[in-house]
A = this chain, B = another copy of it.
Amino acid sequence: MGTGMGMDMDTGTERDLPHRIAAQISDGILAGRHAPGERLNELQLSRELGTSRAPVREAARLLEAQGLVISHPRRGFFVRTLTAPQLYDMYDLRLALEIHAAGQALERIGEADMDRLRHQVGLLHGLARSARPAEQVAADYAFHRMLASLSGNGRLLKVLDDIALDMRAGIAVIGRLYDDPARIARNHDPILEALEARDPHRLAAALRFHIGEARDRVVPLFSSLPT
């Protein structure tokens, strides 16, 4: 088993200005401050950030290669719009990656890791009644990311991170994704059980069910968007 890097892909170094700007724009997109399809005005952004346009453009290039932003030559940078098939593809890809990652994780996982996973699922259950969608999404994502990181495959984790970011950006327009938090929390129990039983088959099935359900719930909802 290979381990390209630890679970924290963070380099630890202070980040570049273009990277910080890219993070700012990312956050802006995720927070809904920039709607999908919206044009990113370089001059306006640079003024808001107190810099010139050059670092902003570099940040936009980072986001472009990451898939969050698309550049139309001579027109500028635009927040990427997601089509339903693209969203479906991302769920499909996530499914394949997470199942594979979980399988790998099974062979590397320790008791301390199991504890953290259990804790995370417990957190999910606790949040189920809190009616704070943002925290639920975060906790859900944290669990999946934790599991993926236990695969030891840093590249896989990076791909999943990119997908997660892209998905969250694209479906930020849908406010209420977590229509039944308790059910979603419960969907994580079989995953946990399969992990404890070290049963790769059940693990794959549980993930397939959970992610497949999310896909079948979100994609149709997304398809029937106003615009």
Chain A residues within CB distance 8 Å of chain B:
1-5, 13-16, 18, 54, 57-59, 61-67, 71, 73, 83-90, 92-93, 96-97, 100, 104, 152-156, 158-159, 163, 219
From B2, B66, B96, contact of A100 by CB (8 A): B96
A85 touches B159 (CB 8 A): no
Contacts of A13 in B (CB 8 A): 73
Q: How many copies does the complex hold?
A: 2
From B1, B2, B92, contact of A2 by CB (8 A): B92
From B3, B18, B87, B97, contact of A61 by CB (8 A): B18
Query: Could you say which of A67, A84, A155 has the most chain B C-beta atoms within 10 Å of its C-beta?
Result: A155
Given contacts A4-B89, A66-B65, A92-B104, contact A14 B73 (CB under 8 A): yes
7 contacts between A and B (CB under 8 A): A2-B85, A54-B57, A57-B58, A86-B155, A89-B155, A92-B104, A92-B156
From B4, B89, B158, contact of A154 by CB (8 A): B89
For the complex of A and B, list the 5 residue pairs with the smallest distance between their C-beta atoms, beginning with the closest.
A2-B88, A65-B65, A96-B100, A61-B61, A4-B86
Query: Could you say which of A5, A152, A153, A158 has the most chain B C-beta atoms within 10 Å of its C-beta?
Result: A153
- Determine the distance from Cα of A13 to Cα of B89 in the docked complex, in whole angstroms: 24
- Determine the distance from Cα of A13 to Cα of B73 in the docked complex, in whole angstroms: 9
- Determine the distance from Cα of A4 to Cα of B93 in the docked complex, in whole angstroms: 12
- Determine the distance from Cα of A62 to Cα of B70 in the docked complex, in whole angstroms: 12
Contacts of A54 in B (CB 8 A): 54, 57
A205 to chain B, nearest CB (A): 16
- Determine the distance from Cα of A163 to Cα of B97 in the docked complex, in whole angstroms: 14
From B14, B15, B57, B85, contact of A3 by CB (8 A): B85
- Determine the distance from Cα of A103 to Cα of B213 in the docked complex, in whole angstroms: 20
Smallest CB gap from A163: residue in B: B155
Given contacts A14-B73, A83-B4, A85-B2, contact A92 B61 (CB under 8 A): no
Contacts of A152 in B (CB 8 A): 89
Contacts of A154 in B (CB 8 A): 86, 89
From B73, B87, B155, contact of A90 by CB (8 A): B155
A93 to chain B, nearest CB (A): 5
